[in-house]
């Protein structure tokens, strides 16, 4: 199965209509907003800034010309989608919304002077800065696992060449092999992500390499939507997937990428045929360089505005932030991008920021026709982000196959809708 | 709580977890600034440990996450930077979680053969609060330190593992293959145990009886080198890392004791040289 998108023509027509239909365009705000990072948070913020206030000059800094989404990269790994299907471009943000796109990397930010320097040498000033740099790996956190080791035992936790490398390894693996995944302790990008990946790799094995195994070595004793995942695993894959908790010696303390071998806390050595190491993570490095992170490696923010505690006027969103109870998800980054765009426009127009509310749904596919989800609605309560009581919840245990199929359809629908919302992609 | 599902403890799978909510972390804002009195003056056992000493505050490192998305099993490390010789060594270390139902978490007793006054474990923390530690040195010196941890449960996570365990009293141990004489090296241990607090009730309202591992002992050639006392705030499947610095080869015996009187024992050769 492979997915292609509609022609460029259909694409332009559809979004053109969308922008004509935009209501109540604000006149007031002028000034320059720079957005670092064209992923889920940053591209959303850039678009919604221009939507709310076309008079603003909005510059989006993103090194990649094509952004490959982590969401649905597990479908690519499982052989269900082409790699091209998860690629998102910036043409529509440029042509339909008037966002200036600069394909470069922000190297340093001077939050006092309100300037930043790009890799190519250019220096930019700003009235407001949005940063959504995502994550970087903590290369010093797991013995033996550095950037060179990731070329043999990929993390594939940023979609791109790492994801393609892991797919190639899965394809080359002989039947009867073992896919070993090393899963990190909290906090990390996309809490259900490792378990969705295990599911879709098992789905691929079941069809193509049925004697193979998926072994998850976990630094945790519990994981997101655990009961739903494990139900789904036994229904769809029998005992193909084995999960080893931290208390059962699942925590990996050393990686030997050349030998494709890992060592656990209590000294077991486990060899893999394909080894996927998801290491501990931190906010994208630029957040550190701008002096916005605390000792946790993540960026504390003012929950009402998402301004960095260390630098008011710098708005940080997405995975890089400490936004708990909101998870590190693309859905949450998108919601935060919209709230921050409204805040910045209000700020530049001298108004009070509107009262924020955020929604998050983490969908996961246990199989192509077996979806599960967890929903949360968040508001500011006494100055902190809090989940609205009774607002959400996880898929019920009792859902039958039709229910799971409907949730799977919703998962695809979500991906189509969010990539359309952010990058204007038409499916 | 968006959800509280997941594998139930096998021994108690028939029991509902309604009472567990009392111990699951809830969203709490950062604690308001403490008053002027140091934390240990507000905890009776801590006050007794400090006694008449004027405590110092230098030389203890508390390794605790800044924020935890799941208060049921939080990694805690404490290191006391003091000599460990027969003339002067850290005798004991005491951990308090100041807003837990009972603030006392665990006590650790070292000997000069510990080589290093340092432990790592996993603890339960109910809500955002300071964690306070007290170290007592054989010379009479008392050192205190504290650190705050934020607890915010996160939408996408579940708190299944609060009491989940299997193979109760099963132990795991990691001992270095070889020691250099007198040089401290790390021992890693874990015992499967639900660490029932006695604070949970079933849906029918019956109290689930308290059942915890209370004591851990490490001895080399019959001499105790390290001891720990656990309370209910030690997390499920008690995990403990500590150091020993054996001068010569021998046998290491590790013993865990449950409040019922049940014990588990592991023996490992110690090879020095
Ligand atoms: C396997 C997997 C599956 C997932 N599935 C889902 C899912 O189903 N649903 C969901 O909601 N979430 C999912 N996620 C999580 C989702 O990918 C992230 O939460 C989301 O990407 C976060 O958005 P962000 O804007 O913070 O970071 P990103 O989307 O990673 O964007 C960061 C961008 O910043 C750029 N950047 C970094 N540094 C600089 C710099 N110095 N200068 C300029 N640009 C810079 C990067 O190039 C990147 O494009 C998944 C994640 C993984 C790994």
Q: Are residues A248 and A286 in the same domain?
A: no
Q: Are residues A187 and A117 in the same domain?
A: no
Q: Are residues A272 and A173 in the same domain?
A: yes
Burial of A402 (0-12, 13-18, 19+ CB in 10 A): exposed
In a domain, residue B4? The reply is no
Q: What is the pLDDT of residue B8?
A: 25
Three-state secondary structure readout of B10-79 = HHHCCCCCHHHHHCCCCCCCCCCCCCCCCHHHHCHHHHHHHCCCCCECCCEEEECCCEECCCCCEEEEEE
Higher per-residue confidence, B13 vs A385: A385
Q: Are residues A303 and A202 in the same domain?
A: no
In a domain, residue B96? The reply is yes
- Ligand 1 pocket: which of A40, A326, A418 to mutate (most atoms <8 Å of CB)? A40
Which residue is closest to B194 within chain A, CA to CA? A247
Strand, coil or helix: A233: helix
Q: What is the pLDDT of residue B201?
A: 85
C-alpha pair distances (Å), A9 with each of A16, A92, B34, B45, B248: 11, 12, 63, 75, 80
Q: Quick check: CB of A63 below 6 Å from ligand 1?
A: yes
Q: What is the pLDDT of residue B160?
A: 55
Atom 21 in ligand 1: which residue has the minimum CA distance?
A330
In a domain, residue A216? The reply is yes
Ligand 1, closest atom to CA A197? 1
Residue B26 to residue B126: CA distance in whole angstroms:
8
Which residue is closest to B153 within chain A, CA to CA? A325
* Dihedral sign of CA atoms B222, B224, B230, B235 in order: negative
Residue B129 to residue B126: CA distance in whole angstroms:
8
Q: Work out how many domains chain A is built from and give that number.
A: 2
Q: Are residues A298 and A334 in the same domain?
A: yes
Q: Quick check: CB of A40 below 6 Å from ligand 1?
A: yes
Q: Work out how many domains chain B is built from and give that number.
A: 1
Predicted confidence band of residue A393 (pLDDT cuts 50, 70, 90) = confident
Ligand 1, closest atom to CA A107? 41
Q: Which among A295, A325, A393 has the least Cβ separation from residue B66?
A: A295
Q: Are residues A264 and A293 in the same domain?
A: no
Q: Are residues A70 and A195 in the same domain?
A: no
Angle between the N-to-C axes of helices A193-208 and A226-237, in degrees from 0 to 180, rounded to the nearest 10: 0
Q: Residues of B220-242 as b/e, b for ≥16 C-beta within 10 angstroms?
A: beeeebbbbbbbbbbbbbbbbbb
Measured in angstroms, how far is the CA atom of residue A210 from the centroid of ligand 1?
32
Domain of B128: which CATH number?
2.60.40.10
- Ligand 1 pocket: which of A46, A71, A187, A337 to mutate (most atoms <8 Å of CB)? A71
Beta strand segments in A257-398, E: 261-264, 269-271, 274-277, 281-283, 299-300, 307-308, 311-316, 321-322, 357-367, 370-381, 384-387, 393-394
In a domain, residue B167? The reply is yes
Residue B165 to residue B162: CA distance in whole angstroms:
9
Q: What is the pLDDT of residue B87?
A: 97
Ligand 1, closest atom to CA A361? 11
Atom 45 in ligand 1: which residue has the minimum CA distance?
A37
In a domain, residue B65? The reply is yes
Domain of A53: which CATH number?
3.50.50.60
Q: Which among A227, A374, A375 has the least Cβ separation from residue B6?
A: A227
DSSP letter at A80? Answer: S
- Kindly state the helix (H) or strand (E) to which residue A198 belongs, with its residue range: helix A193-208
Ligand 1, closest atom to CA A332? 11
Tell me the pLDDT of chain B (273 aa) as tens digits: 233 332 222 223 223 333 333 333 332 223 334 446 999 999 999 999 999 999 999 999 999 999 988 888 999 999 999 999 999 999 999 999 999 999 999 999 999 999 999 999 999 998 999 999 999 999 999 999 999 999 987 666 555 567 778 899 999 999 999 999 999 999 999 999 999 999 888 888 899 999 999 999 999 999 999 999 999 999 999 999 999 999 999 999 999 999 999 999 999 999 999
Query: Per the omega criterion (within 30 degrees of 0), is the bond before A325 cis?
Result: yes
A191–B236 CB contact, under 8 Å = no
Q: What is the pLDDT of residue B161?
A: 63
Percentage of residues of chain A with pLDDT beyond 90:
84
In a domain, residue A368? The reply is yes
In a domain, residue B82? The reply is yes
In a domain, residue B104? The reply is yes
Interior angle at CA B100, CA B155 and CA A296, nearest 5: 50
DSSP letter at B234? Answer: B
Set of chain A residues whose Cβ sits within 8 Å of the Cβ of B65: 296
**Structural domain boundaries, residue A395:** 5-16+24-137+281-423
Burial of B12 (0-12, 13-18, 19+ CB in 10 A): middle
pLDDT digits (tens, 9 = 90+) for A159-181: 999 999 999 999 999 999 999 99
In a domain, residue B67? The reply is yes
Q: What is the pLDDT of residue A406?
A: 96
In a domain, residue A75? The reply is yes
Q: What is the pLDDT of residue A381?
A: 87
Atom 5 in ligand 1: which residue has the minimum CA distance?
A71
Q: What is the pLDDT of residue B159?
A: 54
In a domain, residue A142? The reply is no
**Structural domain boundaries, residue B182:** 11-270
Q: Which among A249, A294, A383 has the least Cβ separation from residue B29?
A: A383
In a domain, residue B5? The reply is no
Higher per-residue confidence, B30 vs A362: A362
Q: Are residues A401 and A311 in the same domain?
A: yes
A162 Cα distance to chain centroid: 15
Tokens of A336: 């935060």
Q: What is the pLDDT of residue A353?
A: 87
Measured in angstroms, how far is the CA atom of residue A247 from the centroid of ligand 1?
30
pLDDT digits (tens, 9 = 90+) for A10-38: 333 333 333 333 444 445 678 999 999 99
Q: Which of B118, B96, B98 is nearest to B240 (CA)?
A: B118
Angle between the N-to-C axes of helices A401-423 and A330-348, in degrees from 0 to 180, rounded to the nearest 10: 40
In a domain, residue A56? The reply is yes
Question: For chain A, what is the mean pLDDT?
Answer: 92
Residue B101 to residue B233: CA distance in whole angstroms:
9
- Kindly state the helix (H) or strand (E) to which residue A76 belongs, with its residue range: helix A73-77
Q: Is residue A356 within 8 Å of residue A379, measured between CB atoms? A: yes
ipTM score assigned to the predicted complex: 0.86
Q: Are residues A109 and A170 in the same domain?
A: no
Residues present in chain B in total? 273
Cβ-Cβ contacts under 8 Å for A272 (sequence gap 6 or more):
A153, A178, A179, A180, A215, A260, A261, A262
CA distance B208 to chain A (A): 22
Q: What is the pLDDT of residue B82?
A: 98
Measured in angstroms, how far is the CA atom of residue A123 from the centroid of ligand 1?
25
Residue B144 to residue B213: CA distance in whole angstroms:
26
Q: What is the pLDDT of residue A325?
A: 87
Q: Quick check: CB of A36 below 6 Å from ligand 1?
A: yes
Residue B113 to residue B91: CA distance in whole angstroms:
11
- Suggest the residue from A221, A300, A327, A328 to mutate for an interface test with chain B (most B CBs closer than 10 A): A221
Q: Are residues A168 and A265 in the same domain?
A: yes
DSSP letter at A143? Answer: B
Q: Quick check: CB of A328 below 6 Å from ligand 1?
A: yes
Which of these ranges, A242-256, A280-294, B35-49, has the smallest mean pLDDT? B35-49
B239–A247 CB contact, under 8 Å = yes
């Amino acid at each position: 199965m492979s997915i292609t998108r509609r022609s460029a023509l259909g694409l332009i027509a559809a979004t053109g209509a969308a922008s004509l239909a935009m209501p109540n365009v604000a006149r007031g705000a002028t000034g320059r907003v720079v957005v670092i990072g064209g992923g889920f948070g940053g591209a959303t913020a850039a678009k919604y800034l221009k939507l709310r206030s076309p008079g603003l000059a909005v510059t989006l800094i993103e090194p990649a010309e094509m952004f490959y989404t982590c969401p649905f990269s597990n479908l690519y790994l499982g052989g269900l989608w082409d790699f091209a299907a998860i690629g998102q471009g910036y043409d529509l943000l440029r042509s339909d919304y008037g966002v200036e796109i600069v394909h470069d990397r922000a190297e340093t930010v001077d939050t006092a002077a309100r300037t930043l320097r790009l890799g190519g040498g250019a220096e930019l000033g700003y009235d407001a800065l949005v940063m959504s740099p995502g994550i970087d790996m903590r290369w010093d956190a797991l013995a033996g696992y550095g950037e060179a080791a990731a070329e043999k035992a990929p993390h594939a936790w940023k979609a791109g060449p790492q994801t393609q490398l892991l797919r190639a390894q899965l394809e080359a693996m002989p039947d009867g092999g073992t896919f070993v995944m090393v899963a990190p302790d909290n906090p990390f990008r996309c809490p259900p992500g490792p378990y969705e990946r295990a599911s879709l790799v098992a789905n691929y094995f079941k069809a193509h390499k049925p004697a193979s195994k998926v072994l998850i070595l976990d630094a945790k004793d519990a994981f997101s939507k655990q009961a739903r995942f494990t139900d789904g695993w036994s229904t769809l894959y029998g005992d193909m997937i084995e999960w080893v908790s931290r208390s059962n010696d699942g925590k990996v303390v050393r990686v030997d990428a050349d030998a494709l071998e890992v060592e656990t806390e209590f000294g077991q050595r486990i060899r893999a045929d394909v080894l996927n190491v998801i290491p501990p993570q931190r906010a994208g490095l630029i957040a550190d360089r701008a002096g916005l992170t605390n000792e946790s490696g993540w960026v504390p923010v003012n929950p009402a505005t998402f301004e960095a505690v260390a630098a008011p006027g710098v708005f940080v969103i997405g995975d890089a932030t400490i936004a708990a109870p909101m998870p590190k998800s693309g859905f949450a980054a998108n919601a935060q991008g919209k709230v921050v765009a409204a805040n910045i426009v209000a700020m530049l127009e001298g108004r009070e920021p509107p009262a924020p509310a955020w929604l998050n749904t983490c969908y996961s596919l246990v199989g192509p026709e077996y979806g599960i989800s967890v929903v949360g609605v968040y508001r500011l309560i006494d100055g902190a982000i809090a989940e609205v009581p009774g607002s959400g919840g996880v898929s019920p245990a009792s859902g039958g196959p039709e229910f799971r199929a409907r949730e799977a359809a919703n998962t695809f629908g979500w991906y189509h809708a969010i990539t359309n919302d952010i990058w204007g992609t038409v499916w | 709580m968006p959800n509280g599902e997941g594998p139930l403890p096998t021994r108690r799978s028939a029991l509902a977890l309604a009472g567990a909510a009392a111990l699951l972390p809830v969203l709490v804002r950062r604690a308001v600034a403490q008053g002027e009195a140091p934390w240990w003056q507000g905890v009776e056992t801590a006050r007794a440990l400090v006694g008449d000493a004027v405590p110092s505050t230098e030389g203890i490192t508390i390794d605790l996450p800044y924020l935890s998305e799941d208060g049921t099993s939080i990694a805690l490390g404490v290191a006391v930077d003091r000599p460990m010789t027969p003339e002067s060594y850290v005798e004991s270390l005491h951990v308090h979680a100041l807003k837990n139902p009972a603030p006392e978490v665990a006590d650790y007793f070292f000997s000069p053969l510990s080589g290093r006054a340092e432990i790592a474990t996993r603890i339960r923390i109910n809500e955002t609060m300071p964690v306070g530690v007290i170290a007592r040195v054989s010379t009479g010196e008392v050192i205190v330190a504290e650190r705050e941890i934020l607890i915010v449960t996160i939408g996408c996570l579940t708190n299944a593992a609060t009491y989940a365990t299997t193979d109760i009293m099963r132990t795991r141990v990691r001992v270095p293959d070889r020691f250099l004489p007198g040089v401290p090296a790390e021992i890693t241990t874990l015992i499967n145990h639900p660490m029932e607090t006695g604070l949970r009730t079933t849906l029918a309202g019956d109290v689930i009886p308290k059942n915890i591992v209370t004591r851990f002992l490490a001895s080399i050639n019959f001499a105790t080198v390290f001891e720990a006392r656990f309370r209910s705030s030690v997390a499920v499947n008690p995990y403990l890392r500590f150091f020993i610095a054996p001068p010569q080869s021998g046998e290491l015996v590790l013993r865990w004791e449950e409040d019922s009187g049940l014990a588990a024992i592991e023996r490992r050769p110690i090879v020095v040289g």
